[in-house]
């Protein structure tokens, strides 16, 4: 059973998340041969102030 963890910045709409998990489920079924019922997707939403790249917080980027 594939479990897919995704980390995203906050702010996506419910509709965007629905479309995303549908697309990820579909491609997982196609590429791994898993059944859709066995695909779990966990979305972790993160504030920009709690995520940094190259030593700089995303909340401080222009």
Task: Return per-residue pLDDT of the chain as tens, 62 residues.
Answer: 899 999 999 999 999 999 999 999 999 999 999 999 999 999 999 999 999 999 999 999 97
**Cβ atoms of residues 19 and 13 within 8 Å:** no
Out of 2, 8, 20, 48, the active site residue is: 2
Annotated catalytic residue 19: no
Predicted model pTM: 0.87
- Class of the CATH-defined domain 3-60: alpha beta
Cα gap 58→61, rounded to integer Å: 5
Give the domain ranges of the chain.
3-60
């Amino acid at each position: 059973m594939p479990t897919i963890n995704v980390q995203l910045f906050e702010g996506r709409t419910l509709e965007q998340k629905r479309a995303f998990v549908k697309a990820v489920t579909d491609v997982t079924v196609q590429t791994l041969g898993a059944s859709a019922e066995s695909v779990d997707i966990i979305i972790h939403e993160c504030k920009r102030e709690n995520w940094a790249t190259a030593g700089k917080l995303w909340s401080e980027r222009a």
